[in-house]
Amino acid sequence: MSRAPQLSDKQVLFLYFLILIFVGTILLSLPSSYSAGSLRSLDALFTAVSAVCVTGLSTVTTGDFSLSGKIILLCLIQAGGLGFITFSTLYLFFPGSRFSFRNTAIIQEYYGSEHIQKPKNIIRSILGFTLIFELSGILIIFPGMVRQGVEHPFFSSVFHGISAFCNAGFSLYSDSLTQFQGNPQVLGGVSFMIVTGGLGYMVHWNLFKKVSHPGKVKLRYHSMIMILFTFILIILGFFVFYLLERHRLFSDMNTEDALMAALFQSITTRTAGFNTVDQSGFTAPSTLLNLVFMLIGGGSGSTAGGLKVTTTFLLFLIIIKGIDDHGEIPFLRRRISKELLNRASLYFLKAMVILILSVFLVSLFETIQLKNNIGFLEILFECISALGTVGLSMGITAELSDLSQLVLICTMFAGRIGLFAIIIPAVSPESVYNIRYPEGEVLIG
């Protein structure tokens, strides 16, 4: 008997997520999964896509799922998140068909020439890191949950820990993490999980090797850029949100809580999607920063969505420094190759096209359905949130018409899988490493 035909990388990627969504929709549709009446098929599909794409937008209240439903949701989040980390790590490290080992230059950059790993080992290592991070996160959160006096503090810790590390943003509580406004243990633990989850596996691996082999392994260019810019973005958001909202949205809080709210908003907005304050209550400039942060997203090879920090960094370089005659940009004694710069531009352009199409269709369907109470900003916010798989909302998700919800489903999928698929064929395995500056290899997408 003949073997089944080899699937291409893209086909494997799409198939994995489509099967997850299909199975998830069916499982969530079971009467035993939902404890508040019967769940519409569209809501089951929406929830499954949102979970698998680790978005966190929801047309129904997550708390209304039964325990088994919540566990299914958690499995979908974990499978979606882990799947995405794995695929992106493998594709970014082993571009070309079937994870071949042709592009050894980048692999050596991370693993050293004597440590070229097999995909199987990388997958095992990803699972290990995820388990360790999630366990430690859950341990941090648990005492805070007990202190808060929530029901089932252990399950709640597990759920929110995994949801945070996967940057999924699903919460068991209808107002997300609002009740934890004054609870630094829970917010701190969740923030820690979001940030580490959002850095991406390659950074974890690099840091782990650096710590375990002191003096022998250096911090790589990609890791350095990721850590530096993640830090800059968090601090920037923290200051802007605090300064703008101290006497507005945060006016009822004491100083400590307001500082914490500003920091948490800065961390959660880029891709996690938990919230401790009402997202429609921000001033206009903060709302704009929210939109920009949602678009930027987190790290490549992580569960975070959006353009990614490194892509934004490249776009920033293009704007500030300009492309030289070789189509490259020198930065910090590395040259950023023209392939990378072109991919970054392409990524941005495609994201913009998806966004414009998405906003157009949702606003079209909402106009047709005469739901004129939904404004343009709410729609823009919702679509950027879906595209960046963030999950924040100004509260219109459930109100939207069926067709608009279908558009959001497609936007989430496009933002997660479609945008990522851009970079699969774009990595040229034959790219030549010449002798000007060494190539400043950062991972985008």
Query: Does position 349 bind its own copies by CB under 8 A?
Result: yes
> Binding residues for its own copies, how many (CB under 8 A)?
39
**3-state secondary structure at position 334:** strand
Report the chain's terminal Cα–Cα distance, integer Å.
39
Residue 305 near residue 207, CB atoms below 8 Å:
no
Going residue by residue from 273 to 312, which x/- string records binding to K ion, judged by CB under 5 A?
A: x---------------------------------------
Query: Does position 244 bind its own copies by CB under 8 A?
Result: yes
Give the residue with the Cβ less far from its own copies, 47 or 363.
363
Distance, in Å, from the CA atom of 115 to the CA atom of 105, rounded to the nearest integer, reads 12
Among 53-61, 120-128, 272-280, 375-383, the segment contacting its own copies (CB under 8 A): 375-383
Q: What are phi and psi of 139, to 5 degrees?
A: -65, -35
What is the CA 164 to chain-centroid distance, rounded? Answer: 10
Q: Using CB under 8 A, pick the residue from 30, 123, 146, 346 that binds its own copies.
A: 346
Query: Does position 363 bind its own copies by CB under 8 A?
Result: yes
Q: How deeply is 175 buried, as exposed, middle or buried, from its count of CB atoms within 10 A (0-12, 13-18, 19+)?
A: exposed
Query: Does position 169 bind K ion by CB under 5 A?
Result: yes
Query: Does position 345 bind its own copies by CB under 8 A?
Result: yes
Give the residue with the Cβ less far from its own copies, 276 or 287.
287
391 is in the binding site of which of K ion, its own copies, none (Cβ under 5 to 8 A by kind)?
Answer: K ion
In whole angstroms, how close is the CB of 350 to its own copies at the nearest point? 6
Distance, in Å, from the CA atom of 445 to the CA atom of 439, rounded to the nearest integer, reads 18
418 is in the binding site of which of K ion, its own copies, none (Cβ under 5 to 8 A by kind)?
Answer: none
285 is in the binding site of which of K ion, its own copies, none (Cβ under 5 to 8 A by kind)?
Answer: its own copies
Q: Using CB under 5 A, pick the residue from 24, 56, 189, 388 that binds K ion.
A: 56
What is the CA 183 to chain-centroid distance, rounded? Answer: 24
Using only C-alpha atoms, the chain has a radius of gyration, in whole angstroms, of: 21
Q: Using CB under 8 A, pick the residue from 114, 151, 252, 325 that binds its own copies.
A: 325
Residue 92 near residue 202, CB atoms below 8 Å:
yes
Distance, in Å, from the CA atom of 183 to the CA atom of 145, rounded to the nearest integer, reads 9
Query: Does position 353 bind its own copies by CB under 8 A?
Result: yes
What length does the chain have?
445
User: DSSP string of 144-191?
Assistant: HHHHHT-SSHHHHHHHHHHHHHTT----SSTTTTGGGTT-HHHHHHHH
In whole angstroms, how close is the CB of 389 to K ion at the nearest point? 5
Query: Does position 319 bind its own copies by CB under 8 A?
Result: yes
Which H or E element spans position 330?
A: strand 329-331
Query: Does position 348 bind its own copies by CB under 8 A?
Result: yes
Residues in contact with its own copies by the rule CB under 8 A? 244, 248, 283-285, 287-289, 292, 315, 318-319, 322-323, 325, 327, 338, 341-342, 345-346, 348-350, 353, 356, 359-361, 363-364, 366-367, 375-377, 379, 426, 428
